[in-house]
Amino acid sequence: MMQFYKKRDFGTFISDSFTFFKLYGKNYFKNYILLNGLLLILMVTLFVFGYRELLMPIFGSNMSGESYYFESYFEENIGMFAVMGVITFLLFLIMMIVNYLFPVFYLKRLAEGELKIKTDDILGDFKKNAGKIGKLCLGMIFVVTPLSFIIMGISYAMILIVIGFFLILLIYPVLFNVITFLMYDYFNSKRGFFESLSYSIRSQFSYTNGREKSPFWKYWGSTVVISIILYVITTIFTAIPMIFFMLKITTTAPDANFEQNPFAGSFGVMMFVMYGISMLVSFFLSNMLYVNSGLMYYDSRRDFHQKVELEEIETIGINE
C-alpha cells in the first residue's frame, strides 16, 4: 500500500507516479473506463466522422483552386456546424469534468485507507459533490481561465524579447500545478473555492509550516519531466498516421482523384481512426500527470495528516 501523506523529493515524485500505476493501475483504469469510456468513444467518433466530413471537402476544393468553396460550404451546412459545435462542447465539458476529478476522488479514497475502490464509489462522489463541482466549473470559467489567458498572453508577447520562451517554460507547469492543486484541495478540505485557489498558489512556493525550504523547483521539475515523457509517447502515436500518409503519397502512382482528395475512401477513414486512437492514448496517459500532481498535493498537506492523527490519538481514551 502506498503512503500518500509523506515528504517526497523530485525523484520520488517521478518514481512514485509509476509505482502508483503498478500498484493500482488495473483497478484505476477499470473504473476510469467504466465512467469515462463512453464519453471518450463518442468524442473520438465525433472527431473521426465530423472532421472527416469537414476536411475532405475543404481539402478537395483547395486542390481544385476553388478559393471561396469554404465560405459557401460553411453557409450551406451552418446548421450541421452549429449542432456539432454544441454537442462537441457539451461532451468535452462533461469529459473534462470526469477526466480531471476522477483522479481527485480516487486518490482521496486511497489516502483515506480504502483499497478496493468500485465505480459506484467514485460515481457516488460525483453525485455527492455535484454542487461543489458546479461552483468549481463557474470559478474555472470566470476566474481561473481569464487569469490564465492574461498570464499566457503576456508570456507569448514577451517571446519577441527571447525571455518570453523561458517564461512560458517556467509558467505553464506552474499554472497546471495551481489548477490541479485547486481541485485536490477543494475536494479534500472544507475550504471554499477562493480559499483553495489561494492555497494552491501559495503551496507552490512554501510549505504551511514555513520551516522547510520552498518546494517550487521540485514541483515544477516533476511536472516538466512527466510532461516530456508523455509528449514523447503521444508524439510516436501521432506520427504514425503521418508516416502512412507520406508513404501513400510517395508509393502511389499519380492519380488525379487521390491528389485532389487524399482523405477520401478507406485510406482517409484509416487516417482519422488512427488519429482518434492517438487522442484516446493521450487522454489515458494524461492521468499520470494528474496523479503526479496529487502526490505533490499530499506532500504539501502533511500538516493536515499529522493534525488528523493527533486528533485520533486524543479520542482513543475518550472512546474506551
More confident residue, 60 or 247: 247
Q: Cα separation of 84 and 131, whole Å?
A: 28
Model pTM?
0.83
pLDDT at 198: 95
Query: Which is nearest to 302 in space by CA: 59, 74, 5?
Result: 5
More confident residue, 297 or 90: 297
Query: Which is nearest to 185 in space by CA: 93, 298, 20?
Result: 298
Give the mean pLDDT of 241-249: 71
Burial class of residue 311 (count of CB atoms within 10 Å of its CB; 0-12, 13-18, 19+): exposed
Most distant pair of Cα atoms in the chain: their distance: 87
Residue 17, CA distances (Å) to 33, 107, 178, 238, 291 in order: 20, 12, 18, 24, 7
pLDDT tens digit string along 166-198?
Answer: 888 889 999 999 999 999 999 999 899 999 999
pLDDT at 280: 84
More confident residue, 96 or 48: 96
pLDDT tens digit string along 56-102?
Answer: 555 555 445 555 555 666 677 677 777 777 877 888 888 889 999 99
Q: Cα separation of 145 and 148, whole Å?
A: 5
Return the axis-axis angle of helices 119-128 and 10-45, rounded to nearest 10°: 90
pLDDT at 223: 96
pLDDT at 69: 56
More confident residue, 142 or 251: 142
pLDDT at 24: 95
Range list of β-strands (E), the chain = none
Q: Cα separation of 52 and 60, whole Å?
A: 12
Residue 6, CA distances (Å) to 3, 207, 319 in order: 7, 13, 28
pLDDT at 229: 93
Q: Taking CA 159 as the corner, what is the angle to CA 181 and CA 168, rounded to the nearest 5 degrees? A: 15
Q: Cα separation of 181 and 185, whole Å?
A: 6
CB of 294 closer than 8 Å to CB of 2: no
More confident residue, 248 or 229: 229
CB of 204 closer than 8 Å to CB of 217: no
More confident residue, 162 or 91: 91
Q: Cα separation of 203 and 196, whole Å?
A: 10
More confident residue, 302 or 253: 302
pLDDT at 320: 46
